[in-house]
DNA sequence: GTCGCGTGTGACAGCGATGTCATCAACGGC
DNA sequence: GCCGTTGATGACATCGCTGTCACACGCGAC
């Protein structure tokens, strides 16, 4: 390994001067700076992170602690967003996947402490409350896609209520008056919040919210697993005499089954039935025929913003430390919803 | 921060003894060990990674360099597998996403050098050749889901040919004799390899390979993007007088469109048409009605094995350094293929 | 009593970087 | 010609940890 001393010797200056050049200290003569910089390039000198970190007693690495985010298709974009945010700060990311196991989580908190990470983004796969169990960790922690019931940390979460409102509003604007809903498991926070959004939009549009038209598309089994029953839910809705002209889905997977149910009944999307998804998972929305209109979960943005907030919490970036950021869920219009005359 | 000296003072021993306890050096009296360990627990002492790394001049962190793996639903499992492998070695992972930009990649090689990472897993989203452009990096590098055309590094790749063989073989064993293929873009290596697999299985089963029955489901646009045209491809196949009884898909997204095309023609899966996918993306395979039989891309295993090979390359794990590992693609049987009488 | 040996422990140096403070040359003002 | 100031550079200590080597002690062999 080539060290600062090697460079210093080669350049005929002291190590401290090389250090100054590396760190853009203005108190270096232009000529010296040039010469040293050239030698650094030539020798491929890269300052040792460990030594630097030791001297400066904090690292340029941020920890990303997740239950399963980094490893499931649903919310990987949080990772991408986090990484993008960190890149702007020339930082890197140490990633820890706990698989939801508290033992592993405990272990990784130790790792993060050992690495003196500059902060931690704590992300979850589902939008839900978390309890961090007071890890004795001195640097900032920001929650992404989750929030602290005790309000102990700042959080960045999707605006599920707004997302639900957007879904319903879009259909209402297209002229739909009978709207069915095939929702996520009722135990999820997202379901509750979006339900509130639906009602607001319905009320605004002068529609009545009819509980008979809302059916869960997922049911949670006693063992914690989930069964996707959207197909049957959709059949139930579509066989009614007063068949809805549009269906709001709790996520894009539900939409897949609704397409199938509609096809089975000889109904065409969007001519006979409009469908709007949630999540905007490219793999599904762009694969279905016709392509699925959906409301996006802004995971990339969530990650990015979490990093920003983390900077504020640590006082490295100017700006207020807000307790919670609601990130809007934008509408992505494709071909699955039709304007009623 | 509580340091080794703090612990030493508290325990009334020298820092070196504390160090011995932390590192399980047997040359410590049982009583001393107990006492020191207790104090360590009580004070929440965590050895400083930077200092340790500096002293020992290598890190317990492995770099994961990817083009987009960490951030796309397709191949995130490589990340999970890598992490799982590292966990067994009590290591952690520094993650770098280049978005395919050589400038970023260059930058991250520097970061990895600065961190003195113990090695690098270089993973790509698609199975393809790569040219690492000789980064002056001293520790081991293992390629995951890609390989070096110049054979300069060990690689771990999916056995696409075997996967193709498995798809075809499964259908043949179920009695199918006319099998259509809706493949990935012909420019992909996977397409070529799987094609070879199909032919082998066809030959074994005494079937003729009919080029008219193989149609691309994706086409690559001049701008590099891809268009999913599997729906039309499927219609073409299914409207033939000598309609195939089964279709092999290049991936699971293609299967979605084939389901749709079949439904449009009033054909039922699997009664009138058997469909077998590739990739085994849970979001799709378990969402379709009926659930999709597919051949899995063993991304998790690839990541895991890559870490193992990395250990061998670095001489930390016993075992031969093989130039390439082909990881089998297992068949996952669900409900989309039917036995012909 | 001396020696050798094994066991447990500590003193000390040094890994590579940087903060602090000292040094030194050049220069303008008196 | 002297002094204070400014600008550029270097000497040195230090961050937390561990490898090396030395030392102290107890014990058995001669």
Res B116: pLDDT: 92
Structure confidence at residue A39 as a pLDDT band (50, 70, 90): very high
What would the mean pLDDT of B241-245 be, rounded to a whole number? 95
Q: How far is A325 from chain B (nearest CA, A)?
A: 23
First and final C-alpha spacing in chain B: 73
Give the Cα-Cα-Cα angle B181, B182, B183 (nearest 5 degrees). 100
CB B264 within 8 A of CB B272: no
Nearest to A49 among B76, B114, B231 (CB): B114
Q: Which residues make Cβ contacts (< 8 Å) with residue A334, sequence separation at least 6? A: A285, A286, A290, A291, A292, A293, A294
Strands in B179-183's sheet, in edge-to-edge order, are B214-216, B179-183, B246-249, B274-279, B293-296, B331-332
CB A273 within 8 A of CB A238: yes
Reported as a single tens digit per residue, the pLDDT across B121-138 is 999 988 999 988 767 788
Determine whether the interchain pair B114/A257 forms a contact, defined as Cβ–Cβ distance below 8 Å. no
Structure confidence at residue A1 as a pLDDT band (50, 70, 90): confident
Q: Which fold has domain A160-297?
A: Rossmann fold (3.40.50)
Structure confidence at residue A72 as a pLDDT band (50, 70, 90): low
- List every span in chain B annotated with CATH 1.10.260.40: 4-47
Determine whether the interchain pair A94/B97 forms a contact, defined as Cβ–Cβ distance below 8 Å. no
- List every span in chain B annotated with CATH 3.40.50.2300: 160-297
CATH of span B4-47: 1.10.260.40
User: And the tokens for B252?
Assistant: 């699971």
**Cis bond upstream, residue A262 (ω within 30):** no
What interhelical angle do B30-43 and B15-22 show, nearest 10? 90
Reported as a single tens digit per residue, the pLDDT across B144-200 is 999 998 889 999 999 999 999 999 999 999 999 999 999 999 988 999 999 999 999
Nearest to B71 among A72, A77, A253 (CB): A77
Across A71-75, A140-144, A255-259, B147-151, least confident range: A71-75
**Rounded CA–C1' distance between A14 and D5, in angstroms:** 25
Res B135: pLDDT: 73
Backbone angles phi, psi at A28, to 5 degrees: -130, 135
Q: Is the dihedral of CA A204, A175, B288, B230 positive or negative?
A: negative
User: And the tokens for B1?
Assistant: 């921060």
Q: How far is A178 from chain B (nearest CA, A)?
A: 26
A144: nearest Cα among A328, A317, A296, A299: A299
B88 pLDDT above the threshold of 60? yes
Distance, in Å, from the CA atom of A52 to the CA atom of A100, rounded to the nearest integer, reads 34
Strand C: which bases are under 7 Å from protein Cβ? 7-12, 14-20
Res A77: pLDDT: 87
What interhelical angle do A49-56 and B49-56 show, nearest 10? 140
Res B111: pLDDT: 92
Structure confidence at residue B86 as a pLDDT band (50, 70, 90): very high
Strand C within 7 A of B92 CB: no
**Rounded CA–C1' distance between A25 and C16, in angstroms:** 19
Neighbours of A211 (CB within 10 A): 7
Reported as a single tens digit per residue, the pLDDT across B17-67 is 999 999 999 989 999 999 999 999 999 999 999 999 999 888 899 999 998
Q: Which residue has the higher pLDDT, B249 or A88?
A: B249
What interhelical angle do B30-43 and B4-11 show, nearest 10? 120
Reported as a single tens digit per residue, the pLDDT across A56-66 is 888 899 999 99
Residues of chain B with pLDDT > 70: what percent?
Answer: 98
Q: Which residue has the tokens 């509609």?
A: A262
Query: Which residue of B lies nearest to A56 if distances are taken between CA atoms?
Result: B50
CB A69 within 8 A of CB B73: no
Res B166: pLDDT: 98
Identify the bridge partners of residue B294 per DSSP, sorted by sequence position: B277, B332
Identify the bridge partners of residue A326 per DSSP, sorted by sequence position: A157
A70 pLDDT above the threshold of 80? no
Reported as a single tens digit per residue, the pLDDT across B106-115 is 999 999 999 9
Distance, in Å, from the CA atom of B118 to the CA atom of A5, rounded to the nearest integer, reads 23
Res B280: pLDDT: 94
Res B70: pLDDT: 59
What would the mean pLDDT of B243-250 be, rounded to a whole number? 97
How many helices (DSSP H) and strands (DSSP E) are in chain A?
A: 12, 14
Distance, in Å, from the CA atom of A181 to the CA atom of B264, rounded to the nearest integer, reads 25
A47 pLDDT above the threshold of 80? yes
Reported as a single tens digit per residue, the pLDDT across B298-308 is 999 999 999 99
Alpha helix segments (H runs only) across chain A: 4-11, 15-22, 30-43, 49-56, 76-88, 102-114, 160-173, 189-205, 230-238, 252-264, 282-285, 299-313
B130: nearest Cα among B81, B74, B67, B79: B67
Res B225: pLDDT: 82
Q: Which residues make Cβ contacts (< 8 Å) with residue A77, sequence separation at least 6? A: A299, A300, A303, B71
The β-bridge relationship of strands A293-296 and A331-332 is antiparallel
Res A237: pLDDT: 97
Task: Encode burial over A27-53: b for 16+ CB neighbours within 10 A, e otherwise.
Answer: ebeeebbebbeebbeeeebbbbbbbbb
Structure confidence at residue A99 as a pLDDT band (50, 70, 90): confident
Res B72: pLDDT: 64
How many helices (DSSP H) and strands (DSSP E) are in chain B?
A: 12, 14
Reported as a single tens digit per residue, the pLDDT across A125-164 is 889 999 887 677 888 999 999 999 888 999 999 999 999 9
Work out the mean pLDDT of chain A and round it to a whole number: 93
Res B71: pLDDT: 55
Res A69: pLDDT: 65
Nearest nucleotide, CA B45 to C1': D16
Nearest to B289 among A73, A97, A231 (CB): A231
Res A224: pLDDT: 80
Instruction: Tell me B164's DSSP state.
Output: H
The torsion region of residue A34 among left (phi > 0), alpha (psi -120 to 50) and beta comes to alpha
Instruction: Tell me A99's DSSP state.
Output: T
User: And the tokens for B329?
Assistant: 């693609």
Identify the bridge partners of residue B179 per DSSP, sorted by sequence position: B246
- Return residues 259-278 of A near B (CB < 8 Å): 259-260, 263-264
Work out the mean pLDDT of chain B and round it to a whole number: 93
Distance of alpha carbon A261 from its chain centroid, rounded?
Answer: 31
Structure confidence at residue B69 as a pLDDT band (50, 70, 90): low
Residue nearest to nucleotide D10 (CA to C1'): A14
């Amino acid at each position: 390994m080539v060290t600062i001393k090697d460079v210093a010797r080669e350049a005929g200056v002291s190590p401290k001067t090389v250090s100054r050049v590396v760190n853009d200290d203005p108190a270096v003569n232009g000529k010296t700076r040039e010469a040293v910089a050239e030698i650094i390039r030539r020798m491929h000198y890269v300052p040792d992170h460990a030594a630097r970190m030791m001297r400066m007693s904090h690292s340029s690495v941020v920890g990303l602690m997740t239950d399963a985010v980094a490893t499931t298709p649903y919310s990987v974009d949080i990772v991408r967003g986090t990484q993008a945010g960190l890149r702007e700060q020339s930082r890197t990311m140490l990633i820890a996947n706990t698989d939801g196991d508290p033992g592993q989580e405990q272990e990784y908190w130790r790792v993060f402490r050992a690495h003196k990470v500059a902060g931690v983004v704590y992300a979850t796969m589902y939008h839900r409350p978390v309890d961090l169990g007071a890890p004795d960790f001195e640097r900032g922690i920001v929650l992404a896609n989750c929030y602290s019931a005790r309000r102990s940390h700042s959080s960045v979460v999707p605006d599920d209520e707004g997302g639900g409102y957007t879904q319903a509003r879009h259909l209402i604007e297209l002229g739909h008056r009978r709207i069915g809903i095939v929702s996520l498991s009722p135990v999820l926070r997202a379901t509750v919040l979006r339900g509130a959004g639906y009602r607001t939009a319905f009320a605004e549009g002068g529609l009545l919210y009819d509980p008979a038209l809302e059916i869960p598309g997922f049911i949670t089994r006693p063992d914690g697993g989930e069964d996707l029953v959207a197909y049957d839910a959709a059949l139930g809705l579509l066989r009614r005499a007063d068949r809805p002209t549009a269906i709001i889905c709790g996520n894009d997977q539900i939409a897949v089954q609704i397409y199938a149910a509609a096809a089975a009944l000889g109904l065409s999307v969007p001519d006979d039935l409009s469908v709007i998804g949630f999540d905007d998972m490219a793999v599904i929305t762009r694969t279905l025929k016709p392509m699925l209109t959906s409301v996006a979960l802004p995971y990339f943005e969530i990650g990015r913003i979490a990093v920003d907030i983390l900077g504020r919490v640590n006082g490295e970036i100017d700006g207020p430390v807000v307790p919670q950021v609601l990130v809007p869920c934008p509408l992505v219009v494709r071909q699955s919803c039709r304007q009623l005359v």
